[in-house]
Amino acid sequence: MKKLPLFSVAIIFAIFITSCNNSTNNQTSTTEKMETKAGVTKAAWGTTDGKEVFLFTLTNAKGVQVKISNYGATITSWVSPDKNNKPSSIVLGFDSLSGYLAKPPYFGAVVGRYGNRIAKGKFKIDKTEYTLATNNGPNALHGGLKGFDKQVWDATPASDSTASVELSYLSKDGEEGYPGNLKVTVRYTLTDDNELKIEYSASTDKATVLNVTNHSYFNLTGDVNNSILDHTLMIDADNYTPVDTTLIPTGEIKSVKGTPFDFTKAKKIGQEIGAVSGGYDHNFVLNKKDSSLSKIVELKDSISGRTLEVFTTQPGVQFYTGNFLDGTIFTSAGKKINQHAAMCLETQHFPDSPNEPKFPTTLLLPGQQFHSETVYKLSVK
């Protein structure tokens, strides 16, 4: 077949994506022209809590598109071509706000104030004990009953041609039991190298704990009918944090050597998953020694030819194989989302750090400026 020049492929691909969006989301298509900026478009996406919800579309020079909603600072889709130039989304998400209001398990959202678990929903700062809602068995999970994932954030799209949007949220003193007014900002940028850069910053007026991450579920094939157990994964971690039956770390930092947790050399996710009770849902202690932005993960899928590399400044990553997905949630196209239909790579501090003095601290003090960065880089061969 005669090869098309690259820019024609990009244009055809962008037209294809636009027509896909029009067919799946009428609300978006009628409002898409409301406000357009180079690199970012903004569309009305409904209301909740009396606040307006928007859907931002970040488009890069290659025609790749990432959609972000200010409801939960959520990534709703990341559409890119596979090795046959067929576009599909590599993350789980819905075409309309109603999908998210039905409380899916954190699809694409920013979770916080404390992502992951805090044992028994209790922690102390100095001598003061704080109590959180226990929304996951005996423990607190992902910021509580109405965490960052269920809040409407303020949003500012880039005013130049950058494919970028900045979202911010003020979590009030006492919200979900956490101390301090916490101002948190998340900026998403899609680069022309198909990197989705996520920068978090935060400050507080009282000592508090903080662990923010993005909870995207990836399936590089772009089709939930394919399990992620055939993806090949490398995690640059010689150690992980073993957990008790309620998924709280025991406090031990354990070597992965000779265990199913050894992903230091790439292997199929399904290769040893049978030996891990319930599937992978564990925090890996990254080998990187400082808080510089370093590559920590490489995920590959041979069906689509896609590779996802993950870079982060954070000390850990929660590798979760969608164990609790049970076929009760459907995609907007009506496909059943079964167990292992997608997986998460949540860059983070370790679970239950506020109760584990040996883990890197998650304490944020007044006067300190929190900053972290994670980059997901997609390529295709």
By CB under 6 A, is residue 146 in contact with ligand BGC? no
User: Closer to ligand BGC at the Cβ: 7 or 324?
Assistant: 324
Residues 333-362 that bind ligand BGC (CB under 6 A): 344, 346
Min CB(323)–ligand BGC separation in Å = 7
Among 106, 130, 148, 350, binds ligand BGC (CB under 6 A): 106
Number of residues that bind ligand BGC (CB under 6 A): 10
Residue 220 is a binding residue for ligand BGC (CB under 6 A): no
Provide DSSP, 250-301: -S--EE-TTSTT--SS-EETTSSGGGSTTS-EEEEE-S--SSS-EEEEEEE-
Binding mask 307-336 for ligand BGC (x = CB under 6 A): -----------x-x---x------------
Ranked by CB distance to ligand BGC, the top (closest) residue is 105
What is the C-alpha separation between 149 and 215, in angstroms, rounded?
A: 9
Pick 104 or 177: Cβ nearer ligand BGC: 104
Is 272 an active-site residue?
Answer: no
Residue whose CB is less far from ligand BGC, 17 or 224: 224
**Least Cβ distance, residue 368 to ligand BGC (angstroms):** 26
- Neighbouring CB atoms inside 10 A of 349's CB total 24
Touching ligand BGC, residues 49-78 (CB under 6 A)? none
Distances (CA, A) of 47 to 28, 52, 108: 14, 5, 19
Q: What type of residue is 66?
A: V
Nearer to ligand BGC, 38 or 145 (CB): 145
Q: How far is it, in rounded angstroms, from Cα 228 to Cα 361?
A: 32
Q: Which is nearer to ligand BGC, 139 or 164 (CB)?
A: 139
Helices (H), the chain: 6-24, 26-31, 97-101
Q: Is 231 a catalytic residue?
A: no
Q: Does 281 interact with ligand BGC (rule: CB under 6 A)?
A: yes
Q: Is position 32 an interface residue for ligand BGC (rule: CB under 6 A)?
A: no
237 contacts 286 by C-beta, under 8 angstroms:
yes
Beta bridge partners of 89: 79
CB of 141 to ligand BGC, least distance (A): 6
Tokens of 222: 């772009």
Q: Is the dihedral of CA 249, 251, 255, 259 positive or negative?
A: negative
Nearer to ligand BGC, 117 or 231 (CB): 117
**DSSP letter assigned to residue 343:** E
Nearest to 115 by CA among 212, 199, 7: 212
Residue 247 in contact with ligand BGC, rule: CB under 6 A: yes
Q: Which of 42, 26, 23, 25 is nearest to 34 (CA)?
A: 42
114 makes contact with ligand BGC (CB under 6 A): no
State how far the Cα of 85 lies from the Cα of 369, in Å rounded to an integer.
42
208 forms part of the interface with ligand BGC (CB under 6 A): no
| Min dist. Cβ of residue 107 to ligand BGC (A) | 9
List the catalytic residue out of 142, 166, 175, 215. Answer: 215
Residues known to be catalytic: 215, 346
> Which stretches of the chain bind ligand BGC, using CB under 6 A?
105-106, 116, 247, 281, 318, 320, 324, 344, 346
